[in-house]
Each structure stands twice: as structure tokens, then as C-alpha cells.
Structure 1
């Protein structure tokens, strides 16, 4: 079993932030009878980082979080927070706090008293300055005497974060905390949570099924699938260099084209797709072997592709990868138009074109040429399920 370590962060602990907030999971697994929810995994989350566990429902991400929180007993393995083994400790004795999707605010208490609750429970008498400081952090000081029902969903979410942070946990666990918010507010709160984490400098571990949410906030993402970590890395690295078809399809959208390696040229692999030739950097091929005759899946993201009418094919710069096809669908989404193109070598190629100078000829039924830089091509093992990770509409 390989120890997986999230990339370290250069962010120092914030004022008053607790030290020793690294999370180390060793052989941590969970089974329910014959069902394995989390296969034994090794993972180290550096202190002060914003870490996301990303995956579809049932992948094991929430179970993993609950084992860190002490809300689930692991079947195997250990949980360490800093230098402390907390595996056998009950939740209230662990240096963590959890924010859930429903926030669980006390409706009969105002915002000030909701945030103060944890301090008062511990017998701390003088809480005013600490509560005010925490409400200022989440920019809600002016609403301190309102009740939860008088706040918006985003404001309630920030109260829940403040209530958790005032106890100075070494690690803050967030279980789908934005799931109940509408799209616009969810995007606003993504930035707010990232700001708060940067300000306090403690370790955040965030569970979500939302790819955009994870990529917006996290320093490091672990993509989970069927109880295992499929790939671990920075958002840009996972997106640009997926190692499996699941990650390529789940994190954003990818066109995967069945190809065969026909040779090499300098640092590139030459690919055959029917009678077409494509070029791919050898360094971007994640297939187990990369020799002539091997089959691979050549991948390219939809926004990396340029689409032109077939009449303009002669204007395409030399050295570009290209494929011909016919538009079968075009959807205007405001910032871009999303095309689906059927090609003799790959059905339903997706293309996202920014609406800068729209070509009125690019409509369903039009013959087109798709072209992109060879540098934007990545390669995956062709033995994998080409549809793995695709999100159903």
C-alpha cells in the first residue's frame, strides 16, 4: 500500500491557530458485513492545507470523514491528528470540529449565543471578545442579535463555521456544507470558505461531490471511487493530467479517442486513429506501456479544441491535431457555445467555444474541422472503461 501525501502548503498558521493539525490515516478502512465502504488507505494531509475528498455518492468519502471525526469506528487502521493517535477517542475528545450540511443551529438562540455555545459548555465565562472576533472573521458581527431564521442560507452556513472555529480545533471537517444552497450563493460561499481558511490557517478537510466546488477551494484533492483514492493532487494537475478514465471523466469533461501508437518523434508519441494521425507528448501518457502497436485512449478537453467550418480548413495552422466531423447539436450557454460533433473516428466529440466572434455557419448539420495543440493531448490506458466516471444527466 502506497502512502499518499497531499502537497504541502506554505501558509503559516493564523493568529492563535493551533499547531499539529496534520491528519495521518494509516491502513484506514471500513466494512459493513460483506460490503467494503473504504478499502484500507494511507493518506497524509499537511497541516494548514485545504483538502477535499471528492467523489460520487457511495464512494466512501463521507465514511472516511466520519472516521476522522470519530463518528464511525474504523474496521482497520489508525487516525492521527498531529502527533496524537485519536483512533480510540470519542468525538468530543478529538481536536476536530465538524460542519454539516444542515448547520444544526439552535433556533431559540441568537447568532452571538449560537457561536458562544461551545465556550459556555466548557465553562468559559468571558466569551464576548472571542465571539465578536469570530463573527468579524465571518463578516456577521452586525447580525449578532438576530435569530437563525432571520438569516440567509449562506449566512447560517458562516455561523456554523464560526461556531466550530471558536473552539480552536486543529482540524475543521466539512461534510457537504454547501449542498443546501442555490448555485449563485454556493459559488459565493466557496470563495468565503477559502478566505476564512486562509485567514485562520488551520487544516480544512472538505467532503463534496461537486467538482467545481473542490477545484475552487482545495489546495489538494483526493478523487475517490468505490472506496479507494483514484488519484491525489493539486486541482490543476488532476485536471490537466488525469491518470485514469474515471478522473478524466469525473473531473470536468473529456473526449477520449481510441488510438494506437504508431511510432515516436523526439519527445512525442505518434498515434493512428483510423487513417488520421495525432501527436501526443510522451510525458503525458499514463498508459502502463507506451510502445509501438499499443492501444491508448487519447484525451483532449472540450475547451482546448477549436472548431471551424469545413470551408476554412485551409486556414488551420500546420502541426495541429485535427479531426473532421459534422455538428449534431449546439447549445448556447451564454459564455460559450457547446457543440456535439460526430466524427468517423469518434462519435459525440464535445467542443466548448467562447462566444467572442460566433460563426453563424456553425449549426447542426454543418461539416466542420476540429483542431487543437498536440500539447493539450493526454494518454490513458486503453484497457480501462472508457465511460468510467461519466456523470449521468
Structure 2
């Protein structure tokens, strides 16, 4: 089944700005194209402007400047009920006195649609709620209620479905199950889903494309894989997972095209970084490496797949987490780096605190960011 129209109807935001009377600018001249039929996520911390952007698309907030189009249709100043857009909120707002089927058919009946039975049946099957049709919302689990809210939105056949932290009220296990469900439903109906979340795992699990927002602007836009493996700013490097960031000085460049590399002096050791993963023109930068790409071995023993190599580190902390162990490594220059090591059983136990270790990582996994950026940007406080 496909509820999407045949014609190309991308959601386009141009120069979208929201300034409040107190002078606070929540969204700053946002330019964004969300392809029709894609699952798109706006990801960022509280206050970054993602929910305000969603509310402007829904018509619940008026923009200070800029335009909103779906295809060639300008909906910037349309009333919410006249837009081909529906929103699913964290608070599902189901009618407690109506059955699930009656909740789902409420929208079409309100618009005067006569024969809703077949539509309701189709949507309940899609959202796997057929057996719950005669029940009341209070009789359903949180995940089932979330699917009812989704079904109620889908039956209106919007071109764009907006999801505002829809899984926030669910516990962790159910939230992960619903991430898979939402992606399945989106692929089946072929609608444009725009999902607002502060949860990195949620965005990466479901979305085809993620826009990481910070202070009203988009820091970086791309696939989950590209954002994680090749962040362009310290904010993205820290907000999307964790990163080790070490100061370094560029000492040379070699090669051309895909083979081009940049040589960076890192506290006396020259490391190599692919030019495509260098995001600064400065002579200094933050060398970044994800903790799971860091390899360690007790000093003097062979390393698997060695690359950039450092000796003289000491394990300062070891936290066993079942599937992996998190090591904190005190480097010779005084900085602590983090290493995530999968517990495959090959090591035969943990590396004890106080052990001197050699440290390595493959050059193709490193990235270089602008030294003027805050190395702590994007780190969320516990």
C-alpha cells in the first residue's frame, strides 16, 4: 500500500526563521529539502530549535521569515487544518471513551467521509491493531497506544507525517521495538516522515537522513553512517556517540584525489588522516577517533591491525559492561583517551588497571576538526 502521491512533493524550507518578542532566535534562516517518501530526523539537544521547526511546518507556530513548500505548494501561512500534514505527539491524546476503531475513524468522520469502515480496517491491519479494535485506550499498552496515535494520523492520508518525540513516554525495551515498527510502517506507506528527537540511537536506527541541529542551525546533514564515521564539527563528534579529541599540528600533505592524506603531529608522533576526513584549513586541529576504533595491548605484545602507534599509555580505569569493556587510558602527555573493546573472549580477561599498554588505530578511521571549535561541544551532562 502507498499513501503517497505519484508526483514529486518534497518538503522544502527556505530561510525559515523564528524570532520571539524577547529577541530569542530559536531557528536561524534554515534551508532544508526533505525528499518525498524519506524518513528524516531532526536530532539535537533541548532548545536547539528542532521542535520549533516542526511546529512551523505543522502550522502551530508562525515563522518570522522564510517559506515552507510541499512540492510547488506554498503552505507557509496556511491554517494547520488546511495543510497536508499530520502530527503525532509524545502525548497521544486519545479519546478515552471511544474504542480504538472509533479513535482511528474520528478524523475522516469529522471531515464528512461516509464509508470509513474499509479505511479503518486497512490502517488497523497496517499498524497491527486489528485485534484491539473494540478495546478502549486504557486497555492497551504504551506501545499499542502509540500505534493508535499513528493510525489516527495515517488515516487522514497526509503527505507529511510529523513525529514529535513520539517514543519518549515508552520504556527502553519498548522504545527499541517501536523504532523498528515505525520504520517498517514508513517503508510500507511510503510517506514522508519527519521525526524530531534528542535520542541519537533513535535517529540513527530509523532515519534515512539525519540533520543534527544546534542553536537554531544545522551543524551537519547526512546518513547516520556518514555523520557517525566522519563528523565535520566537534559538536557532531560528541553529540552523536563519543569521541576522543586530541590537539595536533598539520605538518604536511601528500597525494592527490582519493589517495590524498594529511600528516598531523600529535604530541611528537605523526599520524595520517585521509584528506576527505579533514574539515579545517587551519594548521592546527582536533584529531578525532571513536573509542571503538582504539586498539590496546599490554606493552611489547603484538597489536591486531596496527596503524598509528603510541607507547607509554597506562590503563587508569576499566569498566566491564558485558558486551564490551570501557578502558580509560592515561596517555604520556597527560590526556585520558577512551577505548571500547568488544568482549569476544579472545583476550581471556580484562586488562588490569595500572597496566602499561600500547595504543593504536587505523589511519582511515581518524578525522580532523577545526581547532577553534570547543572540544567539549555536544557533550551532554548526565
**TM bracket (short chain):** over 0.9
Distance 1:380 1:321 in 2: 20
Q: Is the 8 A contact 2:84 2:158 kept in 1?
A: yes
| Worse-matched range after superposition: 359-368 or 300-309 | 359-368
Q: Does 1:75 align with 2:64?
A: yes
| Worse-matched range after superposition: 352-361 or 211-220 | 352-361
Q: What residue is the counterpart of 1:161 in the other structure?
A: 150
Q: Does 1:214 align with 2:207?
A: no
Q: Is the 8 A contact 1:270 1:279 kept in 2?
A: yes
Q: CA deviation at 1:325?
A: 1.4
Q: Is the 8 A contact 1:21 1:202 kept in 2?
A: no
Q: Is the 8 A contact 1:259 1:271 kept in 2?
A: yes
Secondary structure, aligned partner of 2:167 = coil
The alignment covers a number of residue pairs equal to: 375
Q: Is the 8 A contact 1:322 1:370 kept in 2?
A: yes
Distance 2:212 2:179 in 1: 19
Q: What residue is the counterpart of 1:30 in the other structure?
A: 18
Q: Does 1:52 align with 2:41?
A: yes
Q: Does 1:17 align with 2:4?
A: yes
Distance 1:310 1:45 in 2: 50
1:280 to 268, 273, 277: 273
Q: What residue is the counterpart of 1:11 in the other structure?
A: none
- Stretches of 4+ moved more than 4 A in 1? 314-319
**TM-aligned CA distance change 1:354 to 1:315, over 3 Å:** closer
Scaled by the length of structure 2, the TM-score of the pair is 0.95
Q: Is the 8 A contact 1:257 1:298 kept in 2?
A: yes
Q: CA deviation at 1:51?
A: 0.5
Q: Does 1:116 align with 2:109?
A: no
Q: Is the 8 A contact 2:315 2:353 kept in 1?
A: yes
Secondary structure, aligned partner of 2:250 = strand
Q: Any stretches of 5+ residues in structure 1 without a counterpart?
A: 1-13
**TM-aligned CA distance change 1:177 to 1:382, over 3 Å:** same
Secondary structure, aligned partner of 1:129 = helix
Secondary structure, aligned partner of 1:391 = coil
Q: What residue is the counterpart of 1:229 in the other structure?
A: 218
Q: CA deviation at 1:338?
A: 1.1
Q: CA deviation at 1:344?
A: 2.2
Q: What residue is the counterpart of 1:269 in the other structure?
A: 262
Q: CA RMSD in A?
A: 1.5
Q: What residue is the counterpart of 1:85 in the other structure?
A: 74
Q: Is the 8 A contact 2:143 2:178 kept in 1?
A: yes
Q: Deviations over 1:335-378 (max 9, x none)?
A: 11111111123622111100012443512222112211111111
Distance 1:309 1:241 in 2: 29
Distance 1:65 1:91 in 2: 12
Distance 2:268 2:288 in 1: 18
**TM-aligned CA distance change 1:366 to 1:117, over 3 Å:** same
Q: Is the 8 A contact 2:306 2:362 kept in 1?
A: no
Q: Deviations over 1:76-114 (max 9, x none)?
A: 111111221111111101000000001111111111111
Q: Is the 8 A contact 1:340 1:350 kept in 2?
A: yes
**TM-aligned CA distance change 1:22 to 1:153, over 3 Å:** same
Q: Deviations over 1:96-134 (max 9, x none)?
A: 000000111111111111101101101112111110110
Q: Is the 8 A contact 2:89 2:164 kept in 1?
A: yes
Distance 1:164 1:178 in 2: 15
Distance 1:287 1:309 in 2: 35
Distance 2:311 2:192 in 1: 46
Distance 2:210 2:292 in 1: 22
Q: Is the 8 A contact 1:263 1:269 kept in 2?
A: yes
Q: Is the 8 A contact 2:3 2:191 kept in 1?
A: no
Q: Does 1:303 align with 2:303?
A: no
Q: Is the 8 A contact 1:224 1:231 kept in 2?
A: yes
**TM-aligned CA distance change 1:89 to 1:315, over 3 Å:** closer
Q: What residue is the counterpart of 2:322 in the other structure?
A: 334
Q: CA deviation at 1:320?
A: 3.6
